[in-house]
Structure 1
Amino acid sequence: MKNVFLFLMALCSVASFFACSDDNDGMNPKSLNGIYANASTGNVLDLKYSNSEFFGKTVEFHTADGIKATLKLNGVIPGEMETVLSDVELISDDAGYKFTTKDENDSRTIDFVGGVENGKLVLEVNAKFNNDLIGKWLLNKENSMAMTWMTVDGKSVQLAQIRNVEGKPLGLRLTTKNIVTFALPTLKKLLPKYLKDVTFMEDGNIIATYNASKQGENGAETQDSWKTSNLNQAHYRVKDDVCCVYPNLEMIMHQMETGGTIDVVLLQQLLINGIPCHFELSEGTEATQDALYMYLNEEFFKQLIPFIKLAGTLISEDTLIPVSDSIYISLKEIMTNLPEALEKTESMNVGLNFVVENN
């Protein structure tokens, strides 16, 4: 009987040894619970989207037993305020836990690979979306822009006085009626000098090729310097035939801190649901390419009114912008008058014309 008792004691000891000898011996899984952020000094988030660093986001991690976990991604997936991953299986290792999971619906499939340890959560996100915009679109150099503007009563609203290069009024006015005649031809010529193409990627990224040349000491622009924007500076999501664009707010914040003063809360409210870009696709023929017209309408511009009023207070009186080769308008004046003009607007759209790149 004594031998049986000793055998049972030994068996229990061995079982106890193996049960308590997990890779993360002594770790309380609940100690890993919390909100992880890029800028945190406590729970640090190392987030990559399409193998590129992604800043300005948070991820909440929660586990009750170290076996399964729930993760809530805040604003990580384009077009989703939050993405909840439930019943994620955890695999213990020396430092903490690893996990791999997938989340999919009718419009996208997303793979997640990550790990969590004391004070740090690592997460790699790879997404694949389905929409009609995927591909590279070249700016139509022959017809880069389009614009319409109609007020409620059909009457014109003054935007600014026409001035010469010295800023003196010429007795003419820029209004909601004649802006298309005055400004659009010049804008059509200028735009191709600064924007070459836009690519809507399968992972939800928007990549643009733009001219990054700067003005020299004499005020003239330096030689063209075409660059491609980085991953995760802007994302998009197509919903109900509207392309919502989501600029990377973290990058915008950084630019504000170094370049000026803007109401950050106001900008957050503006961008939280994305910039709604309406679009029209036209199928090409044997002689023409597929075409894309992407535009903003009056609903979006009216949301900008508080922002325009604020920005107008930051502009100096002598800032002039060209309307054509020899005439200018005061940026201060147009920013002052624009809110009233928008309030009286019935319909408006300002858009860009693209053609598909033929492979």
Structure 2
Amino acid sequence: MSNKLLLLLILGVVFFSACSDDDKDPNYDGTYKDSGLELSRDGMVLSGKSVALSGNTLTLGNVIPGEPALAIPVTITGNVVEGTSSNDFREVKVSGKIEGGKMNLTLAVKNKATDIEGTWAVGNLDAGIMATHFTFTTDKEKVKYGETEVAPENVIGFVNGIFGWMLPTFLKDITFTSDGNITASYNSDMANPQYATSPKGMAFYNLVGGKLYISANIAGIVEDIGRSTSDPLTEIMVVLEQGIPFEVTKDTEKETMDVYMTRETLLPFMSLLPMLGEVMPEEFQSYAGFITDLGPIIQEGKTAELGLVLTQKKTAE
């Protein structure tokens, strides 16, 4: 009798232990990507990304510009995942569900860089402020530019003068929004000036270590190019998916902000220079070769900086 009682006791312990194991929350640890991940920001799906979950830590892979592996502490209630990561420059909130081995995750980003947030005109020709920021140094007394060899300072003057005047005629302004988006107002018809605005969800920004990182939503860009191939922002930023660092210098007296890449950052993108010429309006195509010629100058130079000079626009503008 005692043996039967002991057997029943053992079976009871095993049974209740099994029930207890069944009641535990499922283990959702793993890497979610491709068809196993639907990641959205500002209503647009971000493709080609990956998200890793380990315990109560969710890691975003190449999602936030300049932060290739952003670890976010999360709480998991049932199959619901929620968490927040915040620093001096930005706040990232994630929320979503895991069902059938697939994670559906939504991002909400708030940037705290209020000195960058707002709409910036590309140059300010009325005030004599050209739109381009270009400079370089070299050991050579003369460099080949166009069909001739000229002094380096003449190349700098030509680029900042001609292209600094030309650029604002088709790229009017750039807006950095509080949710980390970048949009641009551009002239879609040079013959009969009409300004359009690129949609949200294509380009994003973030401040990391004093640098301005800009990345692009490739899927959104491809879709937008299908609608309009005249938007310079969408075509040029295709390469910026992982986030490219830009230097930022501000002149409070002139209310300008220079946003530019240094030689080290520029070198991998020299192949883009011909494309910059291709997206120039037909009226300026004769100058396209001068853009392509900057490639060897930057590659062979000691230092180089290339970017935009932006002017703070007043709220009423």
Q: TM-score, normalised by structure 2?
A: 0.72
Whether contact under 8 Å (1:160, 1:175) holds in the other structure is no
Percent identical pairs in the alignment equals 23
Q: 2:121 aligns with which of 135, 138, 149?
A: 138
State the 1:115 CA deviation: 0.6
CA drift of 1:185 comes to 3.4
Match of 2:75 among 70, 85, 89: 89
Say which one has the larger Rg: 1
Which of 26, 29, 34 is residue 29 of structure 1 equivalent to?
A: 26
1:232 Cα deviation after fit: 2.8
Aligned residue number for residue 353 of structure 1: 310
Q: Which residue of 1 aligns with 2:195?
A: 226
Residue 203 of structure 1 aligns to a residue whose secondary structure is coil
CA pair 224-148 structure 1, distance change in 2 beyond 3 A:
closer
**Uncovered stretches (5+) of structure 1, i.e. residues with no partner:** 63-67, 162-171, 214-220, 260-266
Distance 1:242 1:16, change over 3 A: closer
Q: 1:352, CA displacement in angstroms?
A: 1.9
1:112 positional shift: 1.7
**Pair 141,339 (structure 1): closer, same or farther in 2 beyond 3 Å:** closer
Matched residue SS, 2:247: strand
Give the structure 2 partner of residue 58 of structure 1.
50
Are 1:158 and 2:158 an aligned pair?
Answer: no
How much has 1:253 moved relative to structure 2? Answer: 7.0
Aligned runs of 1:42-191 on 2, under 5 Å?
Answer: 43=36, 45-62=37-54, 69-86=56-73, 88-92=74-78, 97-131=79-113, 132-142=115-125, 143-161=129-147, 176-191=152-167
From the superposition, tell whether residues 112 and 225 of structure 1 become closer, same or farther in structure 2 (CA, over 3 Å): same
Q: Quick one: distance in 2 between partners of 1:330 and 1:105? A: 42
Shift of 1:81: 0.6
The reply to whether residue 276 of structure 1 matches residue 245 of structure 2 is: yes
Q: How far does residue 183 in structure 1 lie from its aligned partner after superposition?
A: 4.5
Equivalent residues in 2 for 1:209-358, closer than 5 Å: 209-213=185-189, 221=190, 223-251=192-220, 271=240, 274-284=243-253, 290-305=255-270, 307=271, 328=286, 331=289, 335=292, 338-350=294-306, 351-358=308-315
Letter in 2 for 1:297: T
Give, in whole Å, the separation in 2 of the partners of 1:347 and 1:232: 34
The structure with the largest helix share of the pair is 2
CA separation of 1:224 and 1:89: change in aligned 2, threshold 3 A: same
After TM superposition, give the deviation of residue 157 of structure 1 in Å.
1.0
**Match of 2:183?**
207
Tell me, yes or no, if the aligned pair for 2:298 and 2:304 is still in contact at 8 Å: no
| Other structure's SS at 1:210 match | strand
Secondary structure at the aligned position of 1:126 is classed as strand
* TM-score after normalising by structure 1: 0.65
**CA offset digits 1:258-280 (Å, max 9, x no partner):** x9xxxxxxx99x74763332222
* Inter-partner Cα distance in structure 1 for 2:288 and 2:123: 29
CA distance in 1, matches of 2:205, 2:165: 27
Q: Structure 1 147/204 Cα, relative in aligned 2: closer, same or farther at 3 Å?
A: closer
Shifted more, 174-183 versus 242-251: the winner is 174-183
State the AA in 1 paired with 2:162. T
User: CA, structure 1 residues 156+212, in 2 after alignment: closer, same or farther (shift >3 Å)?
Assistant: same
Measured after TM superposition, the shift of residue 251 of structure 1 is 4.9
Provide the rounded CA distance (Å) in 2 between the counterparts of 1:296 and 1:192.
19
Inter-partner Cα distance in structure 1 for 2:160 and 2:261: 15
Q: Give the deviation of 1:89 after TM superposition.
A: 3.0
Give structure 2 stretches of 5+ with no counterpart: 230-236
Cα gap change, 1:208 to 1:21, in 2 (>3 Å): same
CA contact (8 A) 1:144 1:353 kept: no
* CA–CA distance in structure 1, aligned partners of residues 81 and 200 of structure 2: 25
